[in-house]
Amino acid sequence: MPSFVDQVTLHLAAGRGGNGVASVKREKFKPLGGPDGGNGGQGGSIILEVDTSVTTLVDYHHSPKRKADNGGQGAGDHKNGGNGKDLVLPVPDGTLVRDAEGNVLADLVGQGTTLVIAAGGRGGLGNAALASSKRKAPGFALLGEPGDELVVRLELKVVADIGLVGFPSAGKSSLIAAMSRARPKIADYPFTTLIPNLGVVTAGETTFVVADVPGLIEGAAEGRGLGHDFLRHIERCAALVHVVDTASIEPGRNPVDDLDVIEGELARYGGLEDRPRLVALNKVDVPDGQDIADMVVEELRGRGLRVFEVSAASGAGLRELTFAMAEIVVASREDAPEAEPQRIVLRPKAVDSGEDFEVVATDEGWRVRGVKPERWVRQTDFSNEEAVGFLADRLNRMGVELRLAKMGAQEGDAVLIGSDTNSVVFDFKPSIEAGAEMLGRRGEDERLREARPARDRRRDIAEGMETKAEEEARADVARRLDEERRKNKKGPDKSSGSSGVGPMAYEIGTKDDPDWDGEE
Residues annotated within the binding site for GTP are 166-173, 191-195, 212-215, 282-285, 311-313
Give the chain's count of helices (H) and strands (E): 12, 19
- Positions at the binding site for Mg(2+): 173, 193
d(CA 285, CA 145): 69
Strand bridging mode 198-203 / 206-212:
antiparallel
d(CA 124, CA 146): 11
49 in helix, strand or coil? strand
Q: Which helix (H) or strand (E) holds 150?
A: strand 149-156
Residue 385 burial (10 A CB sphere; 0-12, 13-18, 19+): middle
- Quickly count: other Cβ atoms within 10 Å of residue 2's Cβ: 12
φ, ψ for residue 102 (rounded to 5)?
Answer: 95, 0
Give the list of residues 6+ apart from residue 409 with CB closer than 8 angstroms, or none: 366, 415, 428, 430
Cα R_g (the chain), whole angstroms = 40
Q: Provide the angle, in degrees to the nearest 10, between the axes of the packed helices 287-302 and 255-269.
A: 50
Please give the span between the terminal C-alpha atoms of the chain, in angstroms, as a whole number.
115
d(CA 451, CA 211): 83
Can you give the length of the chain in residues? 520
485 in Cβ contact with 493 (< 8 Å): yes
- Positions at the binding site: 166-173, 191-195, 212-215, 282-285, 311-313
Q: Which helix (H) or strand (E) holds 384?
A: none
**Which of 165, 320, 162 has the alpha carbon at shortest distance from 258?**
165
Strand bridging mode 206-212 / 239-245:
unpaired
**Which of 198, 194, 193 has the alpha carbon at shortest distance from 161?**
198
